[in-house]
Amino acid sequence: MKWVTRERAKVDRIACPWLIKNFVDKDAEFLFVKPEKVLEVA
């Protein structure tokens, strides 16, 4: 599954992908995009 969030990740947006990758979805793919592109990419 692809997960999309805004670029320039801060601590909260770094911790969540780590938790997802390690405990929820081992095959997760994360995309960090410009805020105005999140809905377009999702």
Rounded Cα distance, 5 and 14, in Å: 10
30-41 residue pLDDT tens: 888 998 888 888
Neighbours of 5 (CB within 10 A): 19
pTM strictly above 0.75: no
What's the domain count of the chain? 1
Residues of the domain holding 35: 2-41
pLDDT tens for each residue of 3-17: 888 888 777 777 888
